[in-house]
Amino acid sequence: MLRMLLILCSCYLLLSCAPAAPEQASQLTEIYQRNTLRVGILHGPTSYYIGVDGPTGFEYELARALADRLGVELSLAPSFDLEELQEKLATGQVDFIAGGLTLTPSRMARFRAAPAYRWINEVLVYRQGSKRPQQLSDLTDLDQPVIVMAHSSHAETLANLQDETLTIPFSEATELDADEILQKVVEGSITYTLTDSHQLAVNRRFFPQLRIAFTVNENLPVGWLLRKNQDDSLYSVLIEYFGHVYQNGDLVTLEDRYFGHIEQFDYVDTVKFIQAIDQVLPKYKNWFIEYAAELDWRLLAALSYQESHWDPKARSPTGVRGLMMLTLPTAKQMGVESRLDPEESIDGGSRYLQLLLRRIPERIPMPDRLWFALASYNIGWGHVEDARRLTQRDGADPDKWLEVKQRLPLLRKRSVYQHTRFGFARGDEAAMYVENIRRYYDTLVAVDERQQLELRLEQQRQKLIEQLVEPLTSETSQP
């Protein structure tokens, strides 16, 4: 005992005389020192992708706004593989994962979760025309297993559902992402899959055959993942950040920008639009491209479809006519001699939309600026201004489309419009008009990009065939 006491005293004296070990820098300090916020992000239409104007996506914009708030650069580590992202987080290669990930028990056990910012449902999906399961027990005797993305929350859900009375055959696809699995369901090579409600909403714009069999789980939280340790520096920043974007409305505005217009799904309308892209659009596509100027030609085409369903002889009871449904005064203003001439109509409609865009206050950023211009195309800038004044009166932001579109329907009410500058307007129709164009545009972009990819693949195939055939031709032509 005496010897043990002496040893402990000696150790205490040695430790007290030794220089203090330097404290490890906090995670937030390291971020500032390297001047970079490293974010692991999941590739896909609900998180991050390369759009017409560069990187975009709901998760990307949230992460970029955080980096701007901290005053550091944003460095992305994108991946299609969930396990790869989680490994990068575990080994400290990224500061957190932003991928619209459900906060499942296994993820919460392995990592730390930032505050939840969205809630989703998990739904079982099948192709219209296939046998529809009514409940989980209908999945126990399948010819083909339920296919889900590897290492996903859906795989975890199905694994947790297994017990003595319920055994659901399922398989994890390691080579397919969530969107590719849904496409396989449409093609018929996969019968059933489990997916998130917002993932389904995005994909139904161009795969309307996808149907919900039933909801497996409701109101599951979605959040970012951090390393699990005693360092609270970045975690505290994220608590403050999400509180800030909740309070000032930025989170709701961002969610509306990416998902607000796809909440309502019309199967028949979507199918008709996709058919029209193949059968009708080719007649007018070159003119949309030629006269789009600074606009995306696909947006101009989406506007035209909303107006006339690409019918050059379309006519409304109010007297607007043609592909772009121009009024007679607007046609004269734009120098359109015949509203029934498809080329003239597209040219005039494009220039009129660009004129409206120039009228929108420059302080309003895109894409809200574009949504205001589209609403003005429908009911006129004066009525949109009335709705903006109502928005400001209510203490909301008149420069945000999300806020103004909620006031547009008030322009139908006599108690409201009698006190506005321009009076009555079908504001509710204008709000729906813009949301329809946004849906058509998203669908057209997806279909157009797929067609371009198929064209490039076909060109590569033809080039490869020519390279293989050329040596054979040379050999046979020699004497």
H or E, element range at 272: helix 267-279
Ramachandran angles phi, psi of 132, nearest 5°: -95, 115
Task: At 15, list the tokens.
Answer: 């430790």
Query: Which of 22, 63, 20, 23 lies closest to 39, judged by CA?
Result: 63
Are 378 and 429 in contact by the 8 Å Cβ rule? The answer is yes
In sequence order, the 6+-apart residues with CB closer than 8 A to the CB of 399 are 361, 363, 364, 368, 388
Q: Which one of 59, 122, 307, 385 is the catalytic residue?
A: 307
The three-state secondary structure class of 81 is coil
- Specify the pairing of strand 36-42 against strand 73-79: parallel
Name the DSSP letter for residue 326.
B
Which residues, in sequence order, are bridge partners of residue 124? 194, 214
The three-state secondary structure class of 402 is helix
H or E, element range at 269: helix 267-279
Whether residue 475 lies in the annotated active site? no
Name the DSSP letter for residue 252.
H
The three-state secondary structure class of 96 is strand
- Catalytic sites, residue numbers: 307
